[in-house]
Amino acid sequence: MHCSLGTDENKANNHAWYKATCASVQEHVLEQLRKTQKSHYFNDTRAVHYFSAEFLMGRLMSNNLHNLGLFEKTKQALLELGVNLTDIMEEEPDMALGNGGLGRLAACFIDSLATLDFPAVGYGLHYEHGLFRQDIKNGAQIERPDSWRDYGNPWEICRPESIQEISLYGYVETKYKDNGQVQKEWHPGMIVKGLPWDIPVVGYGGKTVNVLRLWQSQASNYFNWDVFNAGGYVDAQKENVQAETISKVLYPNDETEAGKQLRLIQQYFFSACSLKDIIRRYKRANGDDWKYFSEQVVIQLNDTHPAIAIPELMRILIDRAELDWDTAWDISSKTFAYTNHTLLPEALEKWPARMLEKILPRHLEIIYEINHRFMEKVEAIWPGDNQIKQKLSIIEEGHEKMVRMGNLSVIGAFAVNGVAEIHSALVKKNLFPEFDQMWPEKLTNVTNGITPRRWLKACNPRLSALISEKIGDDWPLHLENLATLDKYADNAKFQKQFMKIKHENKVDLAKDVLALTGITINPKAIFDVQIKRLHEYKRQHLNLLHIMALYRRLLENPNYEMQPRVFLFGAKAAPGYKLAKDIIYAINQVAMRVNNDHRLKDKIKVVFLPNYRVSLAEKMIPAADISEQISTAGKEASGTGNMKLSLNGALTVGTLDGANIEIAEEVGDENIFIFGLTVDQVQQLNDQGYNPYDYYYKNKEIKAVLDWLDTDYFTPDKPGALASIKHSLLEGGDPYKVLADFESYSQAQLKADKAYADKSLWAKMAILNTARMGKFTSDRSIQDYVQKIWKLKPCAVE
Ligand code: Z16
């Protein structure tokens, strides 16, 4: 505090203590960072470069302290100074540089890479504003900017010595070399600077410290000189604004983003800066010889967002290094691997060819050439089959020519993976079947995982202590050891200890809920949690309809038997997603009615916690009894919240979708509440023609709750304010089969209710969930990537 803040402890507030503690911790971090970089340099190791438009890091203090093994010491030291570590950790803003699962997955993966001593760099964007802050006003979502760096970020290091410059716009000149060969030269219309900020990534055990390198865009003063000298001072400033807009804000859509120029520029900006950075480092070790590039460098594309890196590397190899096409393609296609995170057709990225031509004219040429050569391959396998050519082409011909980034990624990568068994099977069967036929080894699966350091050790200290007491303290590194807890599942004393901890966590959350919403909840009730982005396919409205059905049952029969239950929601809706916002509004309006209806005698409470984010997840997950994982089968690629909740002893009510299937395999069918249509049954229903009205007329409860939405019961003075939900489920055709799954969902909930009534049974099931989550450590995911795709060797750090 004295040396880095110039503040005296007598006048320090919590924020000053937070900053001072960071400064102290950072000294340890930076010393290990230096040693790590030295070791990687002298061992000249192959490294993975994880390209991701999103890294949802959350807070770093607690994680860094745990991973350095300094948590208890720091807590004690601060206590001696009269300061509470838990309080000052609340001062840290979340680094919310991501939307949801995809961004948080990237954060878990870099934690595991450092923990396992693999040389790795995360590359992304240094957004000035991360995902919007969500306020709830009169039940509706309001978005406000997230300003996570307003008071500085004590963890990040600015690296002006590693600035890169990248080009945009302009035109391509065709030239001829002395030997008659064509040489292309891109004359850019604009140059933008990329300034890297490094966030140290501390592995568990505190040995390896890798970096997350995030690029901030800046105007290039070099380029603006011309304009400036011509007297165009104001115009030059305009261009500065444009350049600095690139890294201003994270796009808040997690599944769709239609044709936004700035988004494409963001993607190219960080991909091109990162590639230049990699090439600079490669050349420092290997000179101008490209022969070893793909032996030293592997680049993982986190979805298609950075797929423009493929033509960018080709451009560098051909136009700059002057390699021939085949040599360049050989290098490039041995460098890139691609992870697919969704099958939703509206989420598969496509860019108008016209837009690419304007912003990246040379890249569009290269994409056409990649496609041309690929089409020859297709012709050789399926001679004369134009339908297959149309389907596999990178270029979609139509009203407007589009570039399909998914096809480009599969063609340009040596490996393509889905994120859970079922998802990868569907990627092969439905999304890319012909590609799978062409390259039977290319498509594969790596099931997602989560870091047990953040998602158990740091967020649930009580349960962590109990586990360590029973099975030793190496489970954060060897999560499969949790299986040893199996033998305590029937032990009455252990059950009591386990459930006492769950209760204490619920008491803590109840305090937070009261402080955040003014709603009082009973820690003895079932805490039923649905936390994830708001999406029709995730079916928060199925949960809501079931809550309304319970409400009706209780009104019709005041003696209706059920365990008291608190339904907790956390969800942000994309700002332009009308129905998602309507569902948030509906949850809040139902909550208002239910929570104030004394006839219910607190049997049901509904809580929507505003501004769901990583740090809020860390409070909700340890307190959850039930985990809602209720997506329409075939739609959720994996899910990762499902793993976090189950690891913390929550029982899943879920469909056979994504990683739920693998969770069920691990915990056993008797320790999970599975319901609903399977992927095949959804398909069948679609084939035979699905009519939601059948369910509306057949099931009285469904009809009653849907009609209820049409009244003003939940929206006094605003009749019909919730009608859009009913409309989407009836006239809208119910694309996500909410009504078809309602009955089965309701029965699964009934089973869960009955199970909770049996304290010992519930405790046993909860313990077995925790005990059987070993598979879902992100360390296992990373080992799978290393073996199947990256082929890395660990590199020890002193
Ligand atoms: C995202 O978070 C995901 C998919 C996607 O296309 C875009 C975003 Cl921002 C999610 C999947 O929906 C989820 O099932 C999966 O667990 C997660 O990515 C990580 O793979």
Q: Which of 74, 640, 655, 770 is catalytic?
A: 640
Residue 526's DSSP bridge partners are 565
Ligand 1 midpoint to CA 408 (Å): 20
Instruction: Tell me which of 341, 448, 636 to substitute to probe ligand 1's pocket, judged by most ligand atoms within 8 Å of the beta carbon.
Output: 341
* 217 has a pLDDT exceeding 70: yes
Evaluated on CA atoms 388, 687, 707, 533, the torsion sign reads negative
Number of H helices, E strands in the chain: 32, 25
* 555 has a pLDDT exceeding 70: yes
Residue 255: predicted pLDDT: 76
Residue 84: predicted pLDDT: 98
For ligand 1, atom 1: residue with the closest CA: 102
Q: What share of the chain is helix, strand, coil (3-state, %, to 5)?
A: 50, 15, 30
Q: Which residues of 90-128 are buried (b: 16+ CB within 10 A; e: fewer)?
A: ebbbbbbbbbbbbbbbbbbbbbbbbbbbbbbbbbbbbbb
Segment 160-194, tens digit of pLDDT: 999 999 999 999 999 999 989 999 999 999 999 99
Residue 238: predicted pLDDT: 73
Between CA 423 and CA 638 the distance in angstroms is 7
* 229 has a pLDDT exceeding 60: no
341 is catalytic: yes
Residue 120: pLDDT band (50, 70, 90) is: very high
Ligand 1 midpoint to CA 24 (Å): 36
214 contacts 126 by C-beta, under 8 angstroms: yes
Residue 331: predicted pLDDT: 98
User: SS3 sequence, 43-100?
Assistant: HCCCEEEEECCCEEEECCHHHHHHHHCCHHHHHHHHHHCCCCHHHHHCCCCCEEECCC
Give φ, ψ of 123 to 5 degrees. Answer: -125, 130
* One-letter amino acid of 393: S
Residue 239: predicted pLDDT: 73
Measured from the Cα of 342, ligand 1's closest atom is 6
Measured from the Cα of 99, ligand 1's closest atom is 9
Q: What angle do CA 329, 335, 338 make, to 5 degrees?
A: 105
719 contacts 712 by C-beta, under 8 angstroms: yes
Ligand 1 midpoint to CA 17 (Å): 36
Coil, helix or strand for 251? Answer: coil
Instruction: Tell me which of 104, 254, 267 to substitute to probe ligand 1's pocket, judged by most ligand atoms within 8 Å of the beta carbon.
Output: 254
640 is catalytic: yes
Measured from the Cα of 344, ligand 1's closest atom is 6
Segment 358-383, tens digit of pLDDT: 999 999 999 999 999 999 999 999 99
Measured from the Cα of 658, ligand 1's closest atom is 14
Coil, helix or strand for 328? Answer: helix
- Residues at CB less than 6 angstroms from ligand 1: 99-102, 105, 254-255, 303, 341-342, 347, 419, 448, 636-640, 658
Segment 443-464, tens digit of pLDDT: 999 999 999 999 999 999 999 9
Q: Which of 532, 535, 635, 764 is catalytic?
A: 532
Contacting residues for 752 by C-beta, under 8 A, at least 6 apart: 526, 626, 651, 653, 673
Segment 299-342, tens digit of pLDDT: 999 999 999 999 999 999 999 999 999 999 999 999 999 999 99
772 is catalytic: no
Q: Which of 538, 546, 764, 780 is catalytic?
A: 538
* One-letter amino acid of 301: L
Segment 142-165, tens digit of pLDDT: 999 999 999 999 999 999 999 999
Q: Which of 49, 193, 533, 546 is catalytic?
A: 533
* 653 has a pLDDT exceeding 70: yes
Segment 668-709, tens digit of pLDDT: 999 999 999 999 999 999 999 999 999 999 999 999 999 999
Residue 438: predicted pLDDT: 98
* One-letter amino acid of 669: D
Residue 632: predicted pLDDT: 98
Q: Which of 28, 305, 341, 635 is catalytic?
A: 341
Ligand 1 midpoint to CA 571 (Å): 15
- What mean pLDDT is reported for the chain? 96
Domain with CATH 3.40.50.2000 in the chain: 17-448+783-790, 521-776
* 228 has a pLDDT exceeding 70: no
* 346 has a pLDDT exceeding 90: no
For ligand 1, atom 18: residue with the closest CA: 102
* 270 has a pLDDT exceeding 70: yes
For ligand 1, atom 13: residue with the closest CA: 639
Mean pLDDT, residues 392-406 taken together = 97
pTM above 0.95, yes or no: yes
538 is catalytic: yes
487 is catalytic: no
Ligand 1 midpoint to CA 716 (Å): 37
Ligand 1 midpoint to CA 162 (Å): 32
Residue 476's DSSP bridge partners are none
Residue 240: predicted pLDDT: 81
Among 3.40.50.2000, 3.30.565.10, 3.20.10.10, 3.90.550.10, name the CATH number for the domain at 17-448+783-790: 3.40.50.2000
Instruction: Tell me which of 342, 344, 417 to substitute to probe ligand 1's pocket, judged by most ligand atoms within 8 Å of the beta carbon.
Output: 342
Ligand 1 midpoint to CA 255 (Å): 8
Contacts 24+ apart (CB under 8 A), 680-684: 681/633, 682/632, 682/633, 682/634, 682/737, 683/634
Nearest in space to 417 (alpha carbons), one of 777, 112, 789: 789
Among 3.40.50.2000, 3.90.960.10, 3.20.140.10, 3.40.50.1980, name the CATH number for the domain at 521-776: 3.40.50.2000
Coil, helix or strand for 611? Answer: coil
Ligand 1 midpoint to CA 704 (Å): 34
Contacting residues for 85 by C-beta, under 8 A, at least 6 apart: 21, 74, 75, 78, 79
For ligand 1, atom 16: residue with the closest CA: 639
Instruction: Tell me which of 52, 97, 99, 102 to substitute to probe ligand 1's pocket, judged by most ligand atoms within 8 Å of the beta carbon.
Output: 102
User: SS3 sequence, 459-508?
Assistant: CCHHHHHHHHHHHCCCCCCCHHHHHHHHHHCCCHHHHHHHHHHHHHHHHH
644 is catalytic: yes
* 226 has a pLDDT exceeding 80: no
ipTM for the predicted complex: 0.98
Contacting residues for 587 by C-beta, under 8 A, at least 6 apart: 540, 544, 569, 606, 608
Other CB atoms within 10 Å distance of the CB of residue 459: 24
Residue 231: predicted pLDDT: 58
pLDDT more than 90, % of the chain: 95
Other CB atoms within 10 Å distance of the CB of residue 448: 29
Tokens of 220: 């290039």
Segment 538-551, tens digit of pLDDT: 999 999 999 999 99
The residue assigned the tokens 């021939």 is 324
Residue 234: predicted pLDDT: 67
First to last CA, the chain: 29
* One-letter amino acid of 152: G
* 259 has a pLDDT exceeding 70: no
Between CA 340 and CA 416 the distance in angstroms is 7
Mean pLDDT, residues 1-19 taken together = 95
775 contacts 666 by C-beta, under 8 angstroms: yes
134 contacts 611 by C-beta, under 8 angstroms: yes
Residue 14: predicted pLDDT: 97
Between CA 632 and CA 537 the distance in angstroms is 6
Residue 395's DSSP bridge partners are 403
Ligand 1 midpoint to CA 158 (Å): 30
